[in-house]
């Protein structure tokens, strides 16, 4: 299996262009199943999670044409099957969106329980609660979810926890339901808004995405041909911003929506990193002494959990004691052992990582445990003395397009081997 080899201590310098959002693309590509028209989608990130979901669509009967690596035309008119085979879903978490989309299209879906990054138990009780409220019978047997609705009927659903996945999934089914669905305590992430815009362009009537309440007037089949551009990836942008600061570099992170980056930009500024915000870019200059900080990860607009491991690297470089409290994934601490092997001083207690800095990272062989942990290990390798080998690059490929090339273009001494 490929690994990433890095010779550390080069400052990142220059400009990087951010790709389309992974989590938006996964939701929107799933949503094309609802279309009775042709969907042309731009700014699709060329990453393995996207390739997997596209393969599933093709297996179900869709036609996917590439205008370029990042512009796709998807025709789902001929999809006939509502059964998704296990070998295809096991590697990606977002395969559960196929339940909502297939339910909306056929009133029926059979999908194996999803895989994806392993942060321990990842329940989908809120997805199921939503589908059941819309009139769906759900049976779960040996990991297979069978969902069937004689007729989807709109309802009022209050989610017990704020869940991106449940919000997206129930939206997908609700656009095809009869009557009005009101979703309360929903996720407000930018990709939820992007999906709502895409569904509306296809003819749906979704209002309120980006607030705590989403109202959907079900309209059955979505008829319009649609042309949509996926929003930039907030987490890829954040990863490069952190890498720039960690290497004391000078990097312009382009093609982003700065509003989506506010929680990170504010935290970096608090740490004394120089941040200049433009219309569609953030300029990060990491030349001063960085200050320690405390972080709590929360649903959007709070600090994103998917930047937690990367920030642990940056805080390790600051003088004093910092803490990151995880508000989403209780077990998102597998990166700690590997960073400590590189020289960090991180201990955990409950859902908090206590970080004592400054540390000197020393290059060594490390093991990627999940997508964002992998990105954090690469950043640690960029600042480390000597050579770092990051294993299991396939996990990083799930969510970062051309990660190694983009870093090399910024001056990193990095290669894939
Ligand atoms: N939860 C429940 N019940 C549910 C669903 C979720 O209790 O039915 C809990 C989870 O256990 C968690 C919290 O609610 O504690 C939030 O989970 P959420 O459903 O929001 O997460 P997700 O939809 O499974 C997406 C991203 C993750 C990201 C989280 C949080 C996709 C494909 N994945 O996961 O992305 O960490 O939202 O923002 O959109 C990543 O990109 O590296 C990644 C893991």
The verdict on the CB of residue 293 being under 6 Å from ligand 1 is no
28 CA → ligand 1 middle, Å: 17
166 CA → ligand 1 middle, Å: 9
The verdict on the CB of residue 318 being under 6 Å from ligand 1 is no
The verdict on the CB of residue 50 being under 6 Å from ligand 1 is no
CA–CA distance, 58 with 413 (Å, rounded to integer): 38
Among 89, 122, 236, 396, name the best residue to mutate to test ligand 1's pocket (greatest count of ligand atoms within 8 A of Cβ): 122
Residues annotated catalytic, as ranges: 117
Nearest CA to ligand 1 atom 25: 164
Q: Does the pLDDT of residue 395 top 60, yes or no?
A: yes
CA–CA distance, 297 with 310 (Å, rounded to integer): 12
pLDDT digits (tens, 9 = 90+) for 92-110: 777 889 999 999 999 999 9
Query: Can you name the residues that pair with 207 across neighbouring β-strands?
Result: 215
Phi-psi region of 120 (alpha: psi -120 to 50; beta: other; left: phi over 0): left
Segments of 33-150 assigned E as strands: 38-42, 63-68, 71-75, 83-84, 108-112, 137-141, 144-148
**What atom in ligand 1 is closest to the CA of residue 329?**
15
Q: Does the pLDDT of residue 120 top 80, yes or no?
A: no
The verdict on the CB of residue 23 being under 6 Å from ligand 1 is yes
C-alpha distances (whole Å) from 199 to each of 39, 177, 179, 213, 410 are 11, 14, 16, 17, 37
Query: Can you name the residues that pair with 112 across neighbouring β-strands?
Result: 144
Contact 171, 206 (CB under 8 A): yes
11 CA → ligand 1 middle, Å: 33
pLDDT digits (tens, 9 = 90+) for 4-13: 999 999 999 9
Percent of the chain clearing pLDDT 70 (strictly above): 97
Nearest CA to ligand 1 atom 11: 122
pLDDT digits (tens, 9 = 90+) for 269-318: 999 999 999 999 999 999 889 999 999 999 999 999 999 999 999 999 99
pLDDT digits (tens, 9 = 90+) for 193-242: 999 999 999 999 999 999 999 999 999 888 889 999 999 999 999 999 99
The verdict on the CB of residue 95 being under 6 Å from ligand 1 is no
Q: At what angle do helices 262-270 and 234-246 cross, to 10 degrees?
A: 10
């Amino acid at each position: 299996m490929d690994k990433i080899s890095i010779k550390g201590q080069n400052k990142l310098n220059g400009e990087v262009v951010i790709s389309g959002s992974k989590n938006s693309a996964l939701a929107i590509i799933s949503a094309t199943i609802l279309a009775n028209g042709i969907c042309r989608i731009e700014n699709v990130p060329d990453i393995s999670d996207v390739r997997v979901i596209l393969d599933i669509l093709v297996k179900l009967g869709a036609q996917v044409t590439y205008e370029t690596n990042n512009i796709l035309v998807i025709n789902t008119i001929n999809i006939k099957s509502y059964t998704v085979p296990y070998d295809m879903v096991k590697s990606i978490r977002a395969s559960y969106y196929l339940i909502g989309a297939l339910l909306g299209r056929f009133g029926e879906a059979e999908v194996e329980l999803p895989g994806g990054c392993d942060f321990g138990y990842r329940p989908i009780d809120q997805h199921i609660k939503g589908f059941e409220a819309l009139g769906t019978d759900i049976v779960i047997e040996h990991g297979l979810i069978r969902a069937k609705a004689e007729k989807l009927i709109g309802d009022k659903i209050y989610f017990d926890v704020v869940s991106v996945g449940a919000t997206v999934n129930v939206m997908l089914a609700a656009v095809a339901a009869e009557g009005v669905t009101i979703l309360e305590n929903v996720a407000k992430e930018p990709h939820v808004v992007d999906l709502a815009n895409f569904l509306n362009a296809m003819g749906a009537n979704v209002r309120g995405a980006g607030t705590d309440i989403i109202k959907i007037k079900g309209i059955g089949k979505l008829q319009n041909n649609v042309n949509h551009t996926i929003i930039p990836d907030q987490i890829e942008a954040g990863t490069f911003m952190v890498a720039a600061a960690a290497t004391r570099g000078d990097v312009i992170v382009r093609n982003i929506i700065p509003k989506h980056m506010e929680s990170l930009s504010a935290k970096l500024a608090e740490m004394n990193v120089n941040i200049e915000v433009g219309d569609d870019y953030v300029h990060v200059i990491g030349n001063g002494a960085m200050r320690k900080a405390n972080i709590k990860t929360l649903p959007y607009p709070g600090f994103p959990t998917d930047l937690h491991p990367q920030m642990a690297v940056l805080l390790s470089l600051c003088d004093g004691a910092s803490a990151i409290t995880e508000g989403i994934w209780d077990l998102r601490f597998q990166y700690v052992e590997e960073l400590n092997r590189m020289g960090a001083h991180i201990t955990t207690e409950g859902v908090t990582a206590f970080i004592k800095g400054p540390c000197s990272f020393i290059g060594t062989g490390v093991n990627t445990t999940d997508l964002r942990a992998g990105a954090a290990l690469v950043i640690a390798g960029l600042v480390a003395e000597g050579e770092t080998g990051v294993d299991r690059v396939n996990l990083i490929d799930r969510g970062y397009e051309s990660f190694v090339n983009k870093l090399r273009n910024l001056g990193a001494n990095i290669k894939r081997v």
